[in-house]
Amino acid sequence: MNFFVTGGAGFIGSHVCERLLRQDHRVVAFDDLNDFYPLKLKLKNLKSVTAIGGDRFRFVEGDIMDRASVDTAFRSTSFDQVIHLAARAGVRPSLLEPALYQRVNVEGTVNIIEAARATGVTKLTIASSSSVYGVNAKVPFSESDPIFQAISPYAASKLACEALGHVYHHLYGLDITMLRFFTVYGPRQRPDLAITKFASLISSGKPIPVFGDGSTERDYTYIEDIVDGIVAVTDRRLGYEVFNLGESDTVRLDRLIELLELSLGKKAEIQRMPAQPGDVPRTFADISKAQRLLGYKPHTKIQQGIPKFIEWFRQNLEI
């Protein structure tokens, strides 16, 4: 099949492209190569993907907010499916640029869905986020939980994308699946995310900023498990569905730091900071729906995933 993958040069996107290429599909990756983090990281990702795909892989530089470039890309090839991963990500940065997050994540998603509809692509898989649950007192978080109390602009933008997915399914019969990712980590993780940031600071002997008392909990999910879930969606016609993709386990922040210290062989210097607006105290995925309908089964626990990440981190210190 021919796949169109937005955000294909990024952390999750490059892994998805590689998996599809290993399955003998053809892939066009669409990415604007913005300066949210260093360009050399995305270029290295693309180099790795190209080495696997050869002439079955093509990269197109473009912005999902530019409808003309999106339309041109869609007209260049007859695509069977779209995997839409491009977005402005992160809770804390969204507090500083809320309008940008709405433009990229909401308007950009409309442009992708409209281009797909105009060219006859009827199946789309779209990234959402566990942040849509907000401060959810009920754990683990289920897809049937009410989600109308977002506490960050980023979360609000992802809620809007889920609503748009339902609208396009209802009006035009598009097969659209929304995937709520829970704290994805692993090789190629963005440098602004906690695990990469902490590993870098600990390695260089600098203090790591810990917001709050270290008791916040996250459902850390290894990249290969996330890719398993994404690819499982591409094999099924589902109508309109929303799925949690997580490890279905929680790890305290102070425990995460301990695991990084063990893998790096070096103690962390802690710099205590006040809790941040927009942060939630806990994320915890109920994955029973994904298990039932997708055959989703995460394999990598945090105790195995952190050493795998650190191995990659040490091999890529130059970037």
Out of 37, 101, 133, 154, which one is annotated catalytic? Answer: 154
In sign, the C-alpha dihedral spanning 92, 134, 166, 8 is positive
How many other CB atoms are there within 10 angstroms of residue 216's CB atom? Answer: 21
Is 240 known to be catalytic? no
Q: How far apart are CA 316 and CA 53, in angstroms?
A: 22
Helix (H) or strand (E) holding 261: helix 253-264
Residue 39 tokens, joined: 């360009």
| CA distances (Å), origin 312, targets 185, 218, 317 | 12, 22, 9
How far from each other are the two terminal CA atoms of the chain, in whole angstroms? Answer: 33
Before 146, cis peptide (omega within 30)? no
In sign, the C-alpha dihedral spanning 100, 103, 109, 111 is negative
Q: Are strands 217-218 and 251-252 parallel, antiparallel or unpaired?
A: antiparallel
| Angle at 191 (CA atoms; ends 187, 192), nearest 5 degrees | 130
* 8 Å CB contact between 79 and 119: yes
| Structure-token match 């021919």, residue found | 2
Q: How far apart are CA 90 and CA 279, in angstroms?
A: 10
Q: How far apart are CA 107 and CA 105, in angstroms?
A: 6
- Burial class (CB within 10 angstroms; exposed 0-12, middle 13-18, buried 19+) of 2: middle
Q: Which residue type does 276 have?
A: Q
**What residues are annotated to the active site?**
154
